[in-house]
Structure 1
Amino acid sequence: MRAILIAAALLAGAAPAAAAPAQTASSVTAPASAFEQDRQSILAQAGQYRVHFDMRENVSFNADYDPMEGKLSGGSEIVRVVYDQGDRISLQHILVMEHEGKAIVIKHWRQDWVYQPEAVLAYVGANEWALTPVTADQRAGAWSQTVWQTDDSPRYGGVGRWTYANGMKVWTSEPTWRPLARRDAVLNPVYDRYLGTNRHALTPNGWVHIQDNMKMNGRAGGEPIAIVQEDVINTYDRSTSYSPKAGDDYWAATQEYWAAVRDAWDAAIAVSGRVYVEEEAQTGVVTGPPLMELAQRIQDGEITTEAAIIQGRAIIETATKR
């Protein structure tokens, strides 16, 4: 059963889930009211939801490629505040499901927000991410969003601004590179990366995450070639139709371990401002299964948090050496 849960976690984590420790500006320069409005928009994403995932390839830009049929799925997901430090906010997503009367919990993706960042961890291709400077003009009044996978390894990062026109509260990123999601990687596709634009918009009953992804082939070097455009619309509707207890219990039991794992990733990135992590189509990043397994063993009482942290650090150190 544990192997099944880990496989499911990696499948789920691939759907959205890269980004990074960014340095914040030394002071907040935007009006306090605008800054606080942005903060509250970010924090409004925390809660308990029914989620619907809608992925559709729409337009082919390659004569030999036919867009795939759309994919619809869904689940129950809680979003919890990991920390709120004013100009730095972290939100953890946790899937809470039920199978044959038993609760199944899967740690999902994490989103970190930084106000007026000096750098953001961006995907640069070939399983590698690098801290990328953000110019003064780009970061003024802006927030970076860094997305991390189920094992807290990086996925993508970008910078954008919250806007409040036309009765909408929306954050929109600039286009950013992302690695393949597992749902595509297992198909051995002709493309090898995405160029995606993110929008997070609050709705009357929750929020929606909209991705405009151009799937590209950059394997030959030079300028990547567009293959097909995809829309991903993940809708988070507030719900009290299920109990979040299993997810909250998991987080309470493992959050100290995951905090140490986050620190280990940050340390690996800080060595050179870059990090390389090998990925496999079937399982995603190679660190995923062992790091997720250690968290499960903590909750099952099979290993202490301290011992798991030692093993987790070793896993990351080994995986990020080149």
Structure 2
Amino acid sequence: MNFKNLLLTSVLMAATSVGFAQKNLKEDKQAIKDMCGCFEVTFKYTETFSPEIDYEKHYDYTATALEWAELIKDEKDEISIQHLLVLNDTMVIKHWRQDWLYENTKRYDFNHDNQWTFVNMNKKDVKGQWTQNVYQVDDSPRYSGSATWIHADGRHYWNNTTSSPLPRREYSKRSDYNVMMRGNQVEITKEGWLHEQDNEKVIREDGKEDVLLVQEKGYNIYKKVDDEQCKAGKDWWASNKGLWSKVRTKWSDVYGRDKNLALEEKVKGQALFMQLFPMDIETKQAKIDSTVEEYVKNK
């Protein structure tokens, strides 16, 4: 092959590669945004295996909810979705948030006992990947992981395993483990989307290997329904989004310090959400800043 042909082949290969990457990126974004809308959600969990023969498995957990997922940011390399619970068609509770960052290199990995380790990843290791950052109801960190969206055989899914605090259904009821290793698979379905989990409930101590208490299988099944069923959630967010934009601004400042993070569970007997939830749109940024800062241990 002469030099001209070699050069032409290289150019064609590069163009094909760019086109493929752009197609994948478009599919990635669409898959993430398919998690927006109004959903009937079914939560199902069952403990499966424990290495200790005398371990008594806890009862299966099943619950249902109506949830509105609002697209609050849609930029080139970042998509953010706020989830809201809608109760009895009228009552709304701010729920979790998920941010998706493309080829992101910075995240916070949960350690244990309200501590997160700052992780600076290599650019080569996150090429083509999306980081999913999941936040608590008060926009404090929950868990984070990076992986590639897969689009093959008519399926669209994302897989990752990462450490997280105890789930809300157990954190106030159990003290026999302190970390959940979440095996997360997010998959877009014809009916909506599925969050399938292969979890390990572990006991973690500094300087020691994790001890497995029990494994767990979980399914969060999101079935798309008419958006009108979540009208209360849409209206609530329209009225309250300004407040939570200020809260996110403060947390962005905290996360931007790029160092390990430790948080107080309670201040003056109250969890952070108990102080933030009563606030309204008129609350000053300075008040929000000082409230959040009270819970940050390592200033």
TM range (shorter): 0.7 to 0.9
What is the CA RMSD across the aligned residues, in angstroms? Answer: 2.1
Q: Secondary structure at the match of 2:57?
A: coil
Q: Contact (CA 8 Å) 2:37, 2:227: kept in 1 or not? A: no
Query: Does the residue aligned with 1:126 lie in a helix, a strand or coil?
Result: coil
Q: Which one of 288, 291, 299 corresponds to residue 312 of structure 1?
A: 288
Tell me the SS of whatever aligns to 2:56: coil
Q: TM-score, normalised by structure 2?
A: 0.87
The ranges of structure 1 where at least 4 consecutive aligned residues each deviate by more than 4 angstroms after the TM superposition are none
Q: Describe the superposition over 1:215-265 as per-residue Cα deviations: whole angstroms up to 9, x where unpaired.
A: 001147511100001122101101128632211121111111111101111
Q: Does 1:230 align with 2:216?
A: yes
Task: Give the count of matched residue pairs.
Answer: 279
**Which amino acid letter does the alignment assign opposite residue 166 of structure 2?**
L
Matches within 5 A, 1:129-144: 129-144=116-131
What is the identity, as a one-letter code, of the residue corresponding to 1:208? L
- Structure 1 residue matching 2:148: 3-state secondary structure: strand
User: Is contact 2:38–2:229 with CA below 8 Å preserved after alignment?
Assistant: no
Task: In structure 2, list runs of 5 or more residues that go unmatched.
Answer: 1-17
Cross-structure match for 1:113: 100
Offset from partner CA, 1:134-181 (integer Å, 9 cap, x none): 2233201110000001111100000011112232110111x2111112
Deviations 1:36-69 (A, max 9, x none): 1111111111111101011111111223422212
Q: How does 1:162-173 map to 2 (within 5 A)?
A: 162-173=149-160
Structure 1 residues 255 and 30 mapped into 2: Cα distance closer, same or farther (>3 Å)? Answer: farther
1:177 equivalent in structure 2: 163
CA distance in 2, matches of 1:107, 1:29: 39
TM (normalized to structure 1)? 0.81
Task: Report % sequence identity.
Answer: 31
> Match of 1:14?
none
Identify which of structures 1 and 2 has the higher relative contact order when contacts are C-alpha pairs closer than 8 Å and 6+ apart.
1
SS of residue matched to 1:243: helix
Structure 1 Cα separation of the partners of residues 128 and 19 of structure 2: 7
1:56 aligns with 2:46: yes
Q: What is the rounded CA distance, in whole Å, between the counterparts of 1:58 and 1:118 in structure 2?
A: 35
* 1:166-214 deviation per Cα after TM superposition (whole angstroms, max 9, x unaligned): 32110111x2111112322222331111111211101111001112110
Q: Does residue 1:201 correspond to 2:148, yes or no?
A: no
- Partner of 1:197, secondary structure, is strand
Partner of 1:276: 262
Distance between the aligned counterparts of 2:54 and 2:272, measured in 1? 35
